[in-house]
């Protein structure tokens, strides 16, 4: 196979995996008052791992329920006030410029406790073959 064909195959494979991940997100991930904008997704040098960056906007008073990720989540709050409830820790409210690290598989939830739309930049370092988000029971 030529270099051009291998590159096209690689791009097609990435598109298929990206689409598959979108369809494996639970329906609750698309709840009213929550907007998720996928910014980028890249393979990492660690086999089977990828980095995914997403902007998440929460309308005032909106909560995103308890869930986990198949890897680490690194949060940077862009605007507003978001209360994070991370299993095993007391709830914490973060504002623009604050950061939070959530270990792999840790159950957590978020709620906009402000009067304006709250936004975060979420960076996930996750296993490629698993859904990005799983709702906790």
Closest among 135, 137, 126, 136 to 28, alpha carbons compared: 135
pLDDT at 5: 52
Which of 108 and 20 is assigned the larger pLDDT?
108
pLDDT at 21 over 60: no
Structure tokens, 119: 């936004």
Contact (Cβ atoms closer than 8 angstroms) between residue 51 and residue 44: yes
pLDDT at 27 over 90: no
pLDDT at 11: 45
What b-and-e string marks burial along 19-37, b requiring 16 or more CB atoms within 10 Å of the CB? eebeeeeeeebeeeebebe
Q: What is the pLDDT of residues 63-102, one digit of tens each?
A: 999 999 999 999 999 999 999 999 999 999 999 999 999 9
């Amino acid at each position: 196979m030529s270099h051009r064909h291998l590159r096209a195959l690689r791009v097609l494979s990435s598109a298929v995996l990206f689409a598959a991940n979108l369809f494996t997100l639970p329906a609750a991930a698309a709840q009213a008052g929550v907007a998720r904008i996928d910014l980028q997704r890249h393979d990492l040098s660690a086999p089977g791992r990828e980095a995914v960056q997403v902007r998440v906007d929460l309308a005032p008073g909106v909560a995103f329920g308890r869930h986990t990720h198949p890897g680490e989540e690194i949060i940077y709050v862009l605007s507003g006030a978001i209360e994070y409830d991370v299993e095993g820790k007391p709830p914490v409210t973060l504002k623009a410029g604050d950061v939070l690290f959530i270990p792999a598989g840790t159950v957590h939830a978020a709620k906009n406790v402000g009067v304006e739309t709250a936004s975060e930049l979420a960076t996930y370092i996750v296993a490629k073959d698993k859904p990005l988000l799983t709702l906790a029971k």
